[in-house]
Amino acid sequence: MENYLNLLSHLMLLSSFVLMANKRIRSYIKTFRMQSALIGTTAALIGFESFSSSGRMDVLVVSTVIIALKVIYIPNLLGSTLENIDLKVEKDFFLNIPILVLISCGIVVFSYFSISAVEGINTGIMNVQIVNSISMILMGILFMISRKNAIGQIVGFLVIENGLFVTAMFSTEGMPFIIDMGIFIDIITAVLIMGVMVFKINEKFESADTNKLKNLRG
């Protein structure tokens, strides 16, 4: 059990690295879908264990909500937003991809050495997983600032949220049910609004590049 959770948390970290090395917007969405599927599996594993040991149903319910929301609904929504935009490949980054991947390695080293030294976490469930999920959050932030395209930035935001969710799940066996649900409703609203925004930006500026937002239009 612990071994599988370890493996899943490493695969999640790996999926953020794959996301970082991607260039095509369609593969951003695909990788995000895969990462969310991994998170759904993890939640289902933890939920099943807490159901069999103490009869709690809530983590299981949360895992089905994750699969419905983050594996199916949000990626489809982003995909349909992408249909309306002509940009398919991201061309110029602030830094090139190998350097971004190496910086992400640096982030992982940073969180491995800084967080594994925290004493409270060492007595918690499993610190490897917490370290991995915190590096996932930081890498989501890096992804967000390295991409100029609006859809890329939405995906970065969702990766940050995934990281937060996984951190909470690994450190406490799931947040209270009502808080999880509240966060999910927040995400749906945020993604819906951002999707409309991207569409509008694309319409007004003829591109989904957020750097163009600095240009003045008379």
Partner 1 sequence: MAELFYVLLQIGIFVLISPLVSGVIKKVKAMTQKRKGAPVLQLYFDLTKLLKKQAVISDKASWIFKASPYVVFSTAIAASLLIPVTTFVVPGRFSGDIIMLVYLLALGRFFMTLSGLDTGSTFGGMGSSREVMISSLMEPSILVSVFTMGLIAKSTSVYDIMEMMQSGNVSLTHPVFIMIFLALLIITLAETSRIPVDDPATHLELTMVHEAMILEYSGRHLALMELGASIKQLVFITLIVNIFLPHDQLITYTGAMGIILSIAIYILKVVGFSVLMALAEVSTVKFRLFSVPNLAALSFMLSFLGFLQYFVFGR
Nearer to partner 1, 45 or 60 (CB): 45
Stretch in the footprint of partner 1 (CB under 8 A) among 81-89, 105-113, 140-148, 184-192: 105-113
Integer distance in angstroms from the first to the last C-alpha of the chain? Answer: 61
Q: Which of 48, 51, 112, 199: binder of partner 1 (CB under 8 A)?
A: 112
d(CA 211, CA 65): 35
d(CA 212, CA 195): 17
Q: Which of 66, 108, 134, 191: binder of partner 1 (CB under 8 A)?
A: 108
- Residue 7 sits at φ, ψ, to 5 deg, of -60, -45
Contact positions with partner 1 (CB under 8 A) in 127-186:
127-128
- Residue 23 sits at φ, ψ, to 5 deg, of -125, -25
Cα Rg, the chain, nearest whole Å:
18
32 neighbors 19 (Cβ within 8 angstroms) = yes
Q: Which of 80, 84, 114, 116: binder of partner 1 (CB under 8 A)?
A: 116
d(CA 51, CA 56): 5
CB of 53 to partner 1, least distance (A): 23
CB of 8 to partner 1, least distance (A): 9
Stretch in the footprint of partner 1 (CB under 8 A) among 14-22, 147-155, 184-192, 202-210: 14-22
Nearer to partner 1, 60 or 128 (CB): 128
Query: CA of 174: how far to CAs of 50, 58, 102, in Å?
Result: 10, 9, 32
Q: Which of 109, 118, 192, 193: binder of partner 1 (CB under 8 A)?
A: 109
DSSP SS3 for 209: strand
* Residue ranges that bind partner 1, judged by CB under 8 A: 3-4, 6-7, 9-11, 13-14, 17-18, 21, 97-98, 101-102, 104-105, 108-109, 112-113, 116, 127-128
